[in-house]
Structure 1
Amino acid sequence: MTPGARVQAAIEVLDLVIAAARANGAPADRLISDWFRTRRFAGSKDRRAVRELTYRAIRACGEVPETGRAAMLRVATDDPELSALFDGSGHAPAIIVAGEPVAEAGIAPHWLVDRFAASGVSEADATTLLDRAPLDIRVNTLKAGPLDMPEGGERSVAVHGWRYPPETRIEQSEAYLQGAIEVQDTGSQLTCEVVAAQPGETVIDLCAGAGGKTLALAAAMENTGTLIAADADRTRLSRLAPRAERAGATGIETVLLNPNKEMQALQRFAGAADAVLVDAPCSGTGTWRRNPEARWRLTEAQLARYAAIQSRLLDVAAELVRPGGRLVFVTCSLLDEEGADQAVGFLRRHADWRAEMPVLPAGTPRGEGLRLSPWHGGTDGFFVARFHRL
């Protein structure tokens, strides 16, 4: 493909990404893969270039662009070399016409920028959400013996964490193939450390999803005790079993939940758990480095629904914890509606609970919990709070 053809290809992919964002369709990475699947003529360098152009345009536009061309023109506005490729030759994009639509630059849609400001996130800080994220891994302590770590990494602030450049192909390493390491953001690892799961305890991962945090808890518990991975999404929960087998994590019990009727499936654990982790569904505003188009998908109505779900799940979790036990609330969000405000609301509703400020090597206090972020510690954005039942 010529350089101009690569730009036109990125414009076509961006049209798909924009349409999917408006319709809550497939994520950008899947759309890019599908686009190339029917275009065998494109080589590896072409694929890499188109992908980079696509994500460059996504990161450059705050509001949802009108078209893929408008998104790419936003990038070309500040890049004369890219602008010159709009020459109409061959498969290149058409010549730029004065006055044609150019997407608006920005961090996010205006309403979200306002919510960030209200949550103590400055514009300068928020811009780091559009950087590329590093590749973080967790050493799996369930795999005994010396570990030959892949080259190019360095220790992170997580107890068992390492960090690599974003382009590292860690899945091809021997350590990964043997299950000795797991891909997991440093912030995610730190939130698991807040749980402080111990061997022999009864621990419930209430929103386990595909089980990334469950596996970290299993390692901390040394495959002893009772570990429950619960979720309402059957498909995501089904991915845990093969991951657990690869990691050597045994004794994990999966529980499929019925939304709004979670206690029906968990009644046998009422008042019995030493610890419950609530990694609640949320807006994902802290993960934009990995999914930058997600900021085009979120609406105020969706944010309100997430906040309501989080409050309800916190109340469910409270029923599961024994006196003297602990509850850890986590969201990958930087908005107070899904963080500090949730912690305050929980304590107001439950007089027999107290907050315990997490102690971590990263993050800054936010209300009754900690905020982890790209600009303080280089992690994804998280809010984490820990509560103790009297």
Structure 2
Amino acid sequence: MTPAARTQAAIELLDAIVAAARDGGPAADTLIARYFAQRRYAGSKDRRAVRTLVYDAIRSLGERPASGRAAMIALAKYRPDLAETFDGSAHGPAPIDAKEPAALSGVAPAWLVDALQRSGLDRAQLAALLDRAPLDIRINTLMGTRDDARDLFEGAEPIDGTAAGLRLPADTSVERSPAFVGGLIEVQDAGSQMVTTVAQAAPGMTLIDLCAGAGGKTLSLAALMGNEGRIVATDTDRARLQRLQPRADRAGVTIVETRLLDPGEEVDALANLRGEADVVLIDAPCSGTGTWRRNPEARWRLTSPRLDRLVATQARLLDLGATLVKPGGSITYIVCSLLDAEGCAQVDAFLVRHPGWSAEVPEVGTAHGAGARLTPASDGTDGFFVARLRAA
């Protein structure tokens, strides 16, 4: 592909990504994979170059652009080499008209920047939300040690604040490695590893992972429990939950049972577990504002009404979790969001609704309200809010 053809490919992809963000369609990574699956002529260098252009444009724009062309024109303003590729060639984009509108640069849509600032994030914290994320892995301590895994990857470094985390060079091939295939390691952000420890999971416990998804935190909890006790992993998403058991088998985890829940019917489906859990972990559905480094187009998907729906879901899950905890047990509440509406305000409201419960300051990140916060700027991790709530 010529440089102009690469720019045109990026414009086409951005058109698809903008439409998907507006209409609730597939993620950018999925759209990029589909695009190149239909264009086998594009070599690995072409695919990498186009992907880089697409994500450079996404990261540079706060508001959702009107089109892929407007997005690339905005990027070209700061990159003369890119502007030159708008040459009108056979497979390239038409030349840029001086009066042609460009998309607006920024961190996020204005309403969202305001909400994040009111949640205590300054300009440096906001900018770091769009840095490129590192590649972190968690060592499965049921199968080996951090030193065992470190010896297998060139440039691997222990991650401060984790007992089993390693940070690898960004281009490391992980999922084809013997360590991954054999269950010694899992790809997991350091922040995700840190907030999971707030649950204080220990051997012999009964633990309910209420929003288990594909099981990243479930497997981390199983390792912390030494594969002794019981974990009930639940979710309403069948496709994601079905991915957990193969991962558990690979990791040598035998204490996990999965339970698919029907939305709105969770109380009845979990009735036999009322008052049984030592710990309920709620990794709640959220806005994902802490994960923009990995999914920068998510800024274009979030709306104020959608945020309101997420906050309502989080409150409902917390109330459900409270019914499952035994006296003296705890809820670990986690969101990969840095908005106070989903974090400390959510916990404050729970404590009002549930007299007798108390909040314990977690041992990770920086204290924030009744919980703690991790941010890319302060901790080098994805952004999280976590709280440990203790039943009377």
Q: TM-score range by the shorter chain?
A: over 0.9
Pick the aligned partner of 1:383 from 373, 380, 385: 385
**Which of 7-16 and 250-259 deviates more?**
250-259
- Taking the aligned partners of 2:2 and 2:200, their CA distance within structure 1 comes to 54
AA at the equivalent of 1:64? R
Tell me which residue corresponds to 1:28. Answer: 28
Corresponding residue SS for 1:376: helix
Shift of 1:261: 2.3
Matched-pair contact (CA < 8 Å) for 1:204–1:229: yes
Tell me which residue corresponds to 1:233. Answer: 237
TM-score normalised by structure 2 residue count: 0.97
Shift of 1:8: 0.8
Pick the aligned partner of 1:288 from 268, 292, 295: 292
Q: CA deviation digits over 1:68-107, x for unaligned, max 9? A: 0100011100111111111112312111101101000000
AA at the equivalent of 1:68? G
- Taking the aligned partners of 2:81 and 2:378, their CA distance within structure 1 comes to 34
Corresponding residue SS for 1:336: coil
Shift of 1:144: 4.3
AA at the equivalent of 1:76? A
Tell me which residue corresponds to 1:136. Answer: 136
AA at the equivalent of 1:168? T
Shift of 1:174: 1.8
User: Do residues 152 (structure 1) and 155 (structure 2) align?
Assistant: yes
Corresponding residue SS for 1:130: coil
Residue correspondences, number? 388
Corresponding residue SS for 2:387: strand
Tell me which residue corresponds to 2:256. Answer: 252
Matched-pair contact (CA < 8 Å) for 2:124–2:377: no
- Taking the aligned partners of 1:232 and 1:31, their CA distance within structure 2 comes to 25
Distance 1:59 1:144, change over 3 A: closer
Corresponding residue SS for 1:172: coil
Tell me which residue corresponds to 1:105. Answer: 105
Identical-residue share of aligned pairs (%): 57
Matched-pair contact (CA < 8 Å) for 1:333–1:339: yes
- Taking the aligned partners of 2:219 and 2:51, their CA distance within structure 1 comes to 31
Shift of 1:165: 2.7
Shift of 1:368: 0.4
Corresponding residue SS for 1:39: coil
The 5 Å alignment of 1:230-379 reads 230-360=234-364, 363-379=365-381
Matched-pair contact (CA < 8 Å) for 1:150–1:175: no
Q: CA deviation digits over 1:253-305, x for unaligned, max 9? A: 11111222212111122111111101000011100000000110011000000
- Taking the aligned partners of 1:106 and 1:166, their CA distance within structure 2 comes to 25
- Taking the aligned partners of 2:176 and 2:298, their CA distance within structure 1 comes to 28
- Taking the aligned partners of 2:174 and 2:241, their CA distance within structure 1 comes to 24
- Taking the aligned partners of 2:187 and 2:144, their CA distance within structure 1 comes to 18
- Taking the aligned partners of 1:130 and 1:260, their CA distance within structure 2 comes to 35
- Taking the aligned partners of 2:352 and 2:264, their CA distance within structure 1 comes to 21
User: Do residues 124 (structure 1) and 124 (structure 2) align?
Assistant: yes
Pick the aligned partner of 1:202 from 192, 203, 206: 206
User: Do residues 49 (structure 1) and 49 (structure 2) align?
Assistant: yes
Unaligned residue ranges in structure 1 (runs of 5+): none
Matched-pair contact (CA < 8 Å) for 1:132–1:166: no
- Taking the aligned partners of 1:68 and 1:114, their CA distance within structure 2 comes to 26
Q: CA deviation digits over 1:135-159, x for unaligned, max 9? A: 1100001114744431121000211
- Taking the aligned partners of 1:282 and 1:167, their CA distance within structure 2 comes to 29
Matched-pair contact (CA < 8 Å) for 1:204–1:227: yes
CA-atom RMSD, angstroms?
1.1
Matched-pair contact (CA < 8 Å) for 2:86–2:93: yes
Q: CA deviation digits over 1:194-217, x for unaligned, max 9? A: 011111100110000111100001
- Taking the aligned partners of 2:165 and 2:274, their CA distance within structure 1 comes to 33
User: Do residues 175 (structure 1) and 182 (structure 2) align?
Assistant: no
Corresponding residue SS for 1:97: coil
Corresponding residue SS for 2:97: coil
- Taking the aligned partners of 1:265 and 1:19, their CA distance within structure 2 comes to 37
- Taking the aligned partners of 1:242 and 1:174, their CA distance within structure 2 comes to 16
- Taking the aligned partners of 1:154 and 1:74, their CA distance within structure 2 comes to 37
TM-score normalised by structure 1 residue count: 0.98
AA at the equivalent of 2:14? L
Matched-pair contact (CA < 8 Å) for 2:338–2:385: yes
Corresponding residue SS for 2:13: helix
AA at the equivalent of 1:319? T
Tell me which residue corresponds to 2:13. Answer: 13
User: Do residues 59 (structure 1) and 62 (structure 2) align?
Assistant: no
- Taking the aligned partners of 1:151 and 1:196, their CA distance within structure 2 comes to 32
AA at the equivalent of 1:271? G
- Taking the aligned partners of 2:208 and 2:74, their CA distance within structure 1 comes to 47
Unaligned residue ranges in structure 2 (runs of 5+): none
